[in-house]
Amino acid sequence: MYSRRNGEVTLTPAVNGTFEEILWKWNGDKAVEFAPDEGLTEYWKFKGRTTLNTQTGELTIRNLQKTDSGRYKAEVLVGGTLQYSVFDVTVLGESADHCVQLWKEGCRSWEESESR
Enumerate domains of the chain plus CATH numbers.
2-104 (2.60.40.10)
pLDDT digits (tens, 9 = 90+) for 1-53: 889 999 999 999 998 888 899 999 999 999 999 999 999 999 999 999 999 99
Q: What is the pLDDT of residue 100?
A: 47
**What is the pTM (predicted TM-score) of this model?**
0.78
Cβ-based neighbours of 3, under 8 Å, separated by 6 or more: 9, 64, 89, 90, 91, 92, 96
Q: Which of 9, 21, 35 is nearest to 74 (CA)?
A: 21
